[in-house]
Amino acid sequence: MAAPSHRRSLRSRRALVVSAAAVAAAVGAGVVVMNANAGTVDLYHQTLAAKDGWASSGTGTTGGTKADAAHTFTVSTRAQLVKALGSASDTTPRIIKVKGTIDANTDDAGKKLTCADYASGTGYSLSAYLKAYDPSSYGTSKLPSGTQEKARAAAQTKQAKNVVFKVPANTSVVGVPGTNAGISGGMLQIQNVDNVVVRNLTFGGTEDCFPQWDPTDGDDGNWNSNYDSVTLRGATHVWADHNTFTDAPHLDSANPKYYGREYQIHDGALDITKSSDLVTVSRNQFTNHDKTMLIGSSDSEPSGKLRVSIHHNIWKGIVQRAPLARVGQVHIYNNYYDVTTLNGYATQYSINSRAKAQVVAENNYWKVPTGGKVAKLLSGDGTGAVKGSGNLVNGMVTDVVAAYNAASSKDLKTTVNWTPTLTSGLETSAKNLPTSLGTTTGASVLK
């Protein structure tokens, strides 16, 4: 394994499915849910509730709720998704309903594309690349350069043109319930835009055909890949809710090793970087993944941004970055972490606070297997802070910060410079989370 480089509660809004025909006159065709507090709500026009985490701050997060009929789409193929997204600079509100699973690795006619198709015409081959940059001859002090590295980059660019979907501002991308809605092999790129909602989708199989070898990464070098399933770069007011993120069907245990290091084809699941801000991540399932959520891509990112709320999510079979937080003010509450090794994914840590990040972690639940060490649930660089309270480990109230600090030479600071106020749905006890979140998180839960 490569060395690490550095809503509301459903019980408060229990949904009762209503046929679309019964309410067509009011909301038009589509899936409708009943909100116990607010009456009938169209799933595709649902907005983030008031005070539901950082994304509710200021103007709040409404996505494409103001979309007209001409900008409301139902898509089931890659080509349809590309057309519905339109230009990344078009701020016209739009709703995109994803029906079924869209395979990003297909051409405009729907033909399946493979890594060989992307490499074709570039001159790249893995065998030639491995020969060119073998550390025993190329050395370990510099990044690859020359013919094969240029060919690798060209092949990667070809794949990126196919699998990267650029999401414009004022957009809701929502999976159609009952259709196994999701995106396989693709990346939603939310970059330098405001007001985006991503809900009820399964993201799997996001794989880079052409990882780059970096002999200077870590003690022994690492293979680094592109493509997060969802990536936020300079984005604001984003709500990611009721999604499932997984490496499946290709798990890391199937990755070969080259130069003695894992040939890593997966990058992040949901990364929040480049001074993104005002983000709420709620009721998702993260499973079977290594580097899962990066908040801040650099220790030198400016302060005042990267404000993120992470609540009511399940993390299971996650190696690290759940999340790794830099610089910002991050609220992590009512999450369930099962750190039992799953399908070869063995936890290194759950939460990492570094580069002066100000993390409040409260009322979370960790399931730790026999022999597991509480001190390894957290990590840091000595500058980050974690203010912890009400956290449970195997049902027992545990000061996870004190446990980490007792075993570490780089203590986490225990006070932060802010107090969370956007906390609608915060549960004051974590004891029921293993049960309640099992049926209320992830894709295919919303009806």
Task: Supply the residues annotated as catalytic.
Answer: 321
**Ramachandran quadrant class, 388 (left: phi over 0; alpha: psi -120 to 50; beta: rest):** beta
Assign 55 to helix, strand or coil: helix
Token pair of 39 as six digits: 């009456």
Which among 164, 285, 308, 150 has a CA at the least distance from the CA of 230? 164
The answer to whether residues 308 and 235 touch, using CB atoms and an 8 Å cutoff, is no
The answer to whether residues 57 and 420 touch, using CB atoms and an 8 Å cutoff, is no
Residue 254 amino acid letter: A
Q: Is the dihedral of CA 120, 126, 127, 129 positive or negative?
A: positive
Which helix (H) or strand (E) element contains residue 22? helix 20-27
Chain Cα centroid distance, residue 38: 29
Residue written as token pair 């592109």: 226
Q: How far is CA 264 from CA 260, 292, 369, 408, in A?
A: 12, 13, 27, 29
The burial of 114, by beta-carbon neighbours within 10 Å (0-12 exposed, 13-18 middle, 19 or more buried), is given as exposed
Which helix (H) or strand (E) element contains residue 385? strand 385-389
Residue written as token pair 């880079």: 208
Q: Which residues of 368-389 are buried (b: 16+ CB within 10 A; e: fewer)?
A: beeebebbbbbbbbeebbbbbe
